[in-house]
Structure 1
């Protein structure tokens, strides 16, 4: 027998509707849990005719009172001062919505606990800020505009020629314990531009989908956070001072994916505090994945440091494209920072039009004199790069300290076409395996004061006249094997330095290329096997 559909009676329909009402919409006077809080219902104007700071604050407070919710920005143009998030709050910025942040510095007072280039300070409020919050998010297809130009100009031009200001006076009053060596030059000036988005000591953070532009300083800067996801975000800053893209610092369990970044400084940088302040906090950056991102303009594609005094460990970078950055993968630090960078994996990356080095591992980013190993001494170890193609100026630069060489470094499956090759100094246990490296100037690999060097399966498409393919100086315990060189190569290996020893050459396809041993090299330093 066919069943008939019966429409519920009026009383049943009213009962159903009464259950749905709490999850539909909010008014300014009635707020329920899990609601969308429309900022326009709290007085925000969609034509930017007045500041929406108070309206946005009231909307956040209304949602927070009932345990959290989504603060919604419908399409329109909003002008505001800083936005302070609270636990269990999501900012949803719809397609067609633009939030423009005021460049009136007074809007970012009172100053709040912050971190600036690795040093804990009290400073201007970031444009979007949270402190000790959890389950917070920024989502949507809208635009966040920082109007950073006035900040850049005041910091870089006005402050340098100004006797002082109320903002500088307030900074100095609140930061008496910050020493000049912590922020050389900046403490005296007393005017630190705020990051765009900075979350301090937060858990479960998401930033998804939005476009961010014209940041006053670093753009996305979580500090001391746990479980951070940044996905599908576009960051577009013009040429400007220190407008890095995504800078997680002293965070753990960070996931960055599907982002498109073009900025005035580094695109993505992993940090963990600077010098004295960083060693005092001693909170590492750990367990980060960076994948499926594109980087265009920027000083570096993905960078670790130079503020890394708390240490950096367990980092995976994969499936990324760098096109036109100054450098590709860059890990940098200096004496005085302390900290250990270890267990770094880079795989499946394409680099094009790199203006300087495709790969940099540098523990002398700031030139200093050797000193006894202590808590001030940084260390790099267990860093492995594979399946990378690159074109640009220089293939790579690996530079350790005399008292602390970089250690356990490998390059596998590289395909590089660059003006100059790899330069290595003060390193241990470095491996090149299945690498094609074609240069227009000088050797493919130059090593000085390196021990435990393995070069296996190196190929070059075209030899450089008058230059060896491999140039070793004071290198010990090295294995050179499986090389394939073009017929035009004259010298495939040059060895110099009186400390050279234990160099084994075997199983190479060398045509007529020879080994050139300089006069100071001991006669038994090189063993040539079949």
Structure 2
């Protein structure tokens, strides 16, 4: 009995010791953020006191994809076992497959380092728990993937780059892709377990995100460059306490949003350069039944001091919005006069989404040439889904409390166009000091189904 008791004591002391070691190695910092709403301090990890582990010490060889992929995985495993560590990518170009982060690990890119990600889809198998356009599924691994992690970071002055050969072909969305997307839509409504929603087959062609932070907390993304992406570039999914700063993002492929916070909370984005083929920032919260079941809004998101060199919208909200979006503050963000976008702010939903939009604040923002306007709100945006599948369950999206102050575009068709739903009008839209330098349309503010719209100085 005495030996048995001693064995139990030793058994249960192991995880406690590991936990204490992790807490002592990593310093969790917090940043206080000023916003027009109550904003909690955002926690993020500091790895200054952690051991640095170079991937070359684990067998990485430049030009050898297999050895480098294995070396990165081994270094991450060791850093995690130590309770905290910095996995260093040295100067030079390193070809790799998928990188899976673990808790208490900082992936650090030295100046002059390029982590080049393979274009071979097989390098992103086995499939992982992910999502595609707001629907959960098992899909090819994102190029950098973190799942249920705490205290993680990607830092440094280096670069991550995606080879695009195959992803460019997949972006054309052949018939097999659309059929798989339809099948996934029905599985979501039928509440089929996510583990059974396998989207890796011969024809689905669901491109992976570049970076997906999935169900994680205490995250830092700081300093590095991103070049190219198969799909959404940085996807924050069901995660909280995230600081994203000093990044330089360029991705001009199909669906290349720069940042997609989806059902994520307590997020600070600052001093980031976005150069995108789609929306610079698109705040989302799940598609239809996914967002309704999860009931986790995207909330408390502050975006400040960013530059948008290209993109469809500076800020988009939706269309995947079923979990709700509230408390978003964009401040002191700008484009150059030569930049051409659709709108500065675009809020989009449809009769299938439900969810809600509440408390969107945009101030001290300037944009270049807008194809449409400074502010757009539309409640019947379906894109490829319009003829792909029917409306199974109708749920409208309440949209209210939208505030723009000191926002201008060099040229546009109109200042605002709000196309609300007749059954559920948009409420409380305030435009103060919002202007267009050269307006090509005949109507400054276009409105359908709006309650309490105001403009002024």
Q: Within the alignment, does 1:235 sit opposite 2:260 as a pair?
A: no
Query: Deviations for 1:197-242, whole angstroms, at most 9, x for unmatched residues?
Result: 001110011111111011000000010001011101111112x210
Q: Which residue of 2 aligns with 1:376?
A: 395
Judge conservation of contact 1:339–1:375 (CA < 8 Å) in 2: no
Q: How does 1:307-318 map to 2 (within 5 A)?
A: 307-318=320-331
Deviation at 1:392, TM superposition (A): 2.2
Q: Within the alignment, does 1:205 sit opposite 2:225 as a pair?
A: no
Query: Deviations for 1:221-274, whole angstroms, at most 9, x for unmatched residues?
Result: 010001011101111112x21011010100000111101111111111111001
Structure 1 counterpart of 2:304, from 262, 270, 291: 291
Deviation at 1:351, TM superposition (A): 0.9
Query: Deviations for 1:2-60, whole angstroms, at most 9, x for unmatched residues?
Result: xxxxxxxxxxxxxxxxxxxxx9xxxxxxxxx9210100111112355755110100001
Query: Deviations for 1:40-82, whole angstroms, at most 9, x for unmatched residues?
Result: 1111123557551101000011111111210001101100000
Greater mean deviation of Cα atoms: 310-319 or 348-357: 348-357
Judge conservation of contact 1:51–1:78 (CA < 8 Å) in 2: no
Aligned in 2, Cα 1:162/1:114: closer, same or farther, shift over 3 Å?
A: closer
- Aligned equivalents of 2:184 and 2:176: distance in 1? 23
TM-score norm. by structure 2 comes to 0.80
> What is the number of equivalent residue pairs in this alignment?
388
Judge conservation of contact 1:37–1:59 (CA < 8 Å) in 2: yes
Q: Within the alignment, does 1:429 sit opposite 2:429 as a pair?
A: no
Secondary structure of residue in 2 paired with 1:60: helix
- Aligned equivalents of 1:276 and 1:289: distance in 2? 27
- Aligned equivalents of 1:139 and 1:317: distance in 2? 24
Higher relative contact order (CA 8 A, sep 6+): 2
Aligned in 2, Cα 1:50/1:409: closer, same or farther, shift over 3 Å?
A: same
Query: Deviations for 1:109-164, whole angstroms, at most 9, x for unmatched residues?
Result: 1100001111111100000001110000000111111113411213416x448999
Secondary structure of residue in 2 paired with 1:195: coil
Q: CA RMSD in A?
A: 2.8
Q: Which runs of 5+ in 1 are unaligned?
A: 1-22, 24-32, 369-373, 435-530
Aligned in 2, Cα 1:193/1:385: closer, same or farther, shift over 3 Å?
A: same
Q: Which residue of 2 aligns with 1:273?
A: 286
Structure 2 counterpart of 1:177, from 178, 182, 187: 187
Judge conservation of contact 2:170–2:207 (CA < 8 Å) in 1: no
Aligned in 2, Cα 1:279/1:175: closer, same or farther, shift over 3 Å?
A: closer
Structure 1 counterpart of 2:412, from 378, 382, 393: 393
Aligned in 2, Cα 1:161/1:187: closer, same or farther, shift over 3 Å?
A: closer
- Aligned equivalents of 1:297 and 1:429: distance in 2? 33
Judge conservation of contact 1:80–1:100 (CA < 8 Å) in 2: yes
Q: Which residue of 2 aligns with 1:419?
A: 440
- Aligned equivalents of 1:257 and 1:152: distance in 2? 30
Higher helix proportion (structure 1 or 2): 2
Q: Which residue of 2 aligns with 1:325?
A: 341
- Aligned equivalents of 1:113 and 1:172: distance in 2? 19
Q: How does 1:50-61 map to 2 (within 5 A)?
A: 51-61=67-77
Q: Within the alignment, does 1:404 sit opposite 2:420 as a pair?
A: no
Q: Within the alignment, does 1:62 sit opposite 2:83 as a pair?
A: no
Aligned in 2, Cα 1:162/1:200: closer, same or farther, shift over 3 Å?
A: closer
Structure 2 counterpart of 1:46, from 62, 72, 91: 62
Q: Within the alignment, does 1:129 sit opposite 2:145 as a pair?
A: yes
Q: How does 1:76-225 map to 2 (within 5 A)?
A: 76-156=92-172, 159-160=174-175, 177-178=187-188, 190-225=204-239
- Aligned equivalents of 2:160 and 2:177: distance in 1? 31
Aligned in 2, Cα 1:131/1:172: closer, same or farther, shift over 3 Å?
A: farther
Deviation at 1:359, TM superposition (A): 1.1
Q: Rg: which structure is higher?
A: 1
- Aligned equivalents of 2:423 and 2:184: distance in 1? 39
Q: Which residue of 1 aligns with 2:260?
A: 247
Secondary structure of residue in 1 paired with 2:293: helix
- Aligned equivalents of 1:54 and 1:172: distance in 2? 36
